[in-house]
Structure 1
Amino acid sequence: MQLDHATIVTADLDTARRFFVDVVGLTQGARPPFSVGGYWLYANGRPVIHLVEATVPGTSVRAAPRIDHIAFRLESAAEWQALLARLRATGVAYQTAQVPPMGPQEAAMQIFVALAPGVVVEFVTALHHAQP
């Protein structure tokens, strides 16, 4: 089994689309003609992020239970450095955290971006990929 996609419902479709295309590096692709607006964003030929236009007003209160965030794993130092360059070039704010090693799992580096209230995107890579 593998994760098929994540759906993000937002009142600001264009900002979310620009983030995932311009910063994350996904591509906008075909989407069925649903009755609400949205975008399907692709990685490696698969639609992995579904953006859906919010049809009811949002709230700033975080509901529980909820899905807290989605995460993308970057497998090389080149991917990691390219992501950092795009974040800086677009002025997107982010926070970093280091995950210590655990058993056979090596240390990792994380980047967290708060895309909108209640919507967090994480990027993670092996710590050695994140070293300059």
Structure 2
Amino acid sequence: MQIDHATIVTADLETARRFFVDVVGLTQGARPPFSIDGYWLYANGRPVIHLIDATVPAQTGRAAPRIDHIAFRLESADEWQALLQRLHAPDLPYQLAEVPQMGPQQAELQLFVALAPGVVIEFVTALRHVRRS
């Protein structure tokens, strides 16, 4: 099983799009002609993030904007360092949290960015990939 995509409903489409393109490294791609504005953002040829305009009234029982968080796994020290550089360029604040080793699960480092009120993006990597200053 794998994650197909995550949908983020937000009133600030452009800020979200810039974050995912400029910081995360996704690319903006084709999107069907839906009646609501939005973007599809791609990684490795697949649309993994769907951004939808929240200025349209929310459906009954569905809050807007909405999402808890999305997590992206970075598999190498080089990927992790490149992410940190992209976060530092626009001086985006973030929080770090260590996840201790549990059985065969290796220790990890989580990095959280608050993209907008109520929208948090997590990046996670093996702790061994992190270069300590």
Q: Provide TM-score, normalisation by structure 1.
A: 0.90
Alignment of 1:48-63 (within 5 A): 48-56=48-56
Q: How many residues align?
A: 126
Which residue identity is paired with 1:113? V
1:113 aligns with 2:109: no
Q: Which SS does the other structure have where 1:20 is aligned?
A: helix
Q: Which SS does the other structure have where 1:90 is aligned?
A: coil
Unmatched 5+ stretches in structure 1:
none
Residues 95 and 113 in structure 1, CA contact (< 8 A), matched pair in contact too: yes
1:45 aligns with 2:45: yes
Residues 5 and 49 in structure 1, CA contact (< 8 A), matched pair in contact too: yes
Residues 58-104 of structure 1, C-alpha deviations (whole Å, 9 max, x = no match): 9xxxx7xx752110000000000000000000111100111000000
Closer, same or farther: CA 75–5 of 1 in aligned 2, 3 Å: same
Structure 2 distance, partners of 1:125, 1:57, is: 37
**Which residue is equivalent to 1:16?**
16
Structure 2 distance, partners of 1:126, 1:67, is: 25
Q: Which SS does the other structure have where 2:32 is aligned?
A: coil
Q: Provide TM-score, normalisation by structure 2.
A: 0.90
How far is the alpha carbon of 1:131 from its aligned partner?
A: 2.1
Unmatched 5+ stretches in structure 2:
none
Q: Which runs of 4+ in 1 moved over 3 A?
A: none
